[in-house]
Amino acid sequence: MPELPEVETVRTGLQQALVGRRFEKVVARRPDLRFPIPADLSERLEGRTVLEARRRAKYLQIVLDDADPSPTVVVLHLGMSGRVNLLPPGDEPFPEPAKHDHLVFDLSDGGRMTYNDPRRFGFLDLMREDELASHDWFRDMGPEPLGNDFHADALNKALAGKATPIKSVLLDQRVVAGLGNIYVCEALYDSGISPRRKASTVPGKRAERLVPAIRDVLQRAIASGGSTLRDYARLDGESGYFQHEFRVYDREGEACRHDGCGGTIQRIVQSGRSTFFCSGCQR
């Protein structure tokens, strides 16, 4: 599943490609993805201009120019295999949409955006901007890990009294928004914290190491265009490159890269997900 850096990479591409353009024609080629597609999607989007492309956790938010009583926001989640593709304007007609191009958006500059999702675990909905904060998807979300509200004091409060392993707690979107399995493994490795450690024992000096480690790994991943392990690609069709920089994820049996450690990367399963770590230097 695309995680925060991958979704942020898509958001950046949408901001560059969509802002100031109108949706001239919008076609839903099936009635549903994971959830039903709004029946009035075309009616509400066609003729509307994009003001901004945002991200909240792993959700994309495309803000439109109608403001009565507040702007319409297209909320899109990529699910397991969702991809947003952009086709630039050209002299030739666009080819027929591909088999899994479930949504097609023709733009006022002559370009086209498609949403392709073979597994159909992604979903799209329309909301008013003033409804977002109270919606079930966003109401209980924790702070953005790259935002000003995420710091050691906030993490200390969120972890207090939790006997669950720190790895599982960091994947809880109510604690911090947008973190996924890959980047939690990487951040715990960089901060020297065992994924099996009880979350209640992390506040203090460990949390002071963990917060900057989370920020650093996310920023490095965004700079590399995210990680491509299976289906993810950027809007230009290129793969992300951060998988080549993994220090621990998917490196079971390999030597630890921390100087002087001498340990070996291990894999365990926590809450149904693979966790990669070094027992020699993560305590």
The strand pairing partners of 71, in sequence order, are 67
- How far, CA to CA in Å, does 18 sit from each of 43, 52, 62, 86? 18, 8, 9, 10
pLDDT at 232: 42
Residues 257-266, mean pLDDT to the nearest whole number: 94
Q: Which amino acid is at 21?
A: R
Comparing CA positions, the residue from 251, 247, 143, 136 lying closest to residue 189 is 247
Q: Mind listing the pLDDT tens digit for each residue in 82-91?
A: 999 999 888 7
Q: Mind listing the pLDDT tens digit for each residue in 3-37?
A: 888 899 899 889 999 999 999 999 999 999 999 99
With contact defined as beta carbons under 8 Å apart, do 256 and 264 qualify? yes
- E-assigned strands of 58-199? 59-67, 71-77, 83-87, 101-107, 112-116, 123-128
Q: Mind listing the pLDDT tens digit for each residue in 180-190?
A: 999 999 999 99
Is residue 88 part of the annotated active site? The answer reads no
SS (H, E, C) 243-280: HHHCCCCCCCCCECCCCCCCCEEEEEEECCEEEEEECC
Is residue 46 part of the annotated active site? The answer reads no
Is residue 218 classed as helix, strand or coil in its secondary structure?
A: helix
Indicate which residue of 2, 5, 145, 203 is catalytic. Answer: 2
Q: Which domains does the chain have, with CATH numbers?
A: 4-134 (3.20.190.10), 152-278 (1.10.8.50)
Handedness of CA 16, 19, 25, 30 (dihedral sign): positive
Spatial separation of the C-alpha atoms in residues 205 and 279, rounded to whole Å: 19
Is residue 2 part of the annotated active site? The answer reads yes
Q: Mind listing the pLDDT tens digit for each residue in 31-80?
A: 999 999 999 999 999 999 999 999 999 999 999 999 878 999 999 999 98
> Running DSSP on this structure, what letter comes out for residue 42?
H
pLDDT at 67: 81
The strand pairing partners of 125, in sequence order, are 75
pLDDT, averaged across the chain: 92
Give the angle subtended at the CA of 20 by the CAs of 234 and 98, to the nearest 5°: 40
pLDDT at 131: 94
With contact defined as beta carbons under 8 Å apart, do 23 and 239 qualify? no
Q: Mind listing the pLDDT tens digit for each residue in 92-151?
A: 889 999 999 999 999 999 999 999 999 999 999 999 999 999 999 999 999 999 999 999
Judge whether residue 231 has pLDDT over 60. Answer: no
Indicate which residue of 120, 197, 257, 273 is catalytic. Answer: 273
Indicate which residue of 3, 6, 8, 186 is catalytic. Answer: 3
With contact defined as beta carbons under 8 Å apart, do 247 and 271 qualify? no
Indicate which residue of 58, 112, 206, 234 is catalytic. Answer: 58
pLDDT at 242: 58
pLDDT at 6: 86
Which residue has 């591909």 as its token pair? Answer: 98
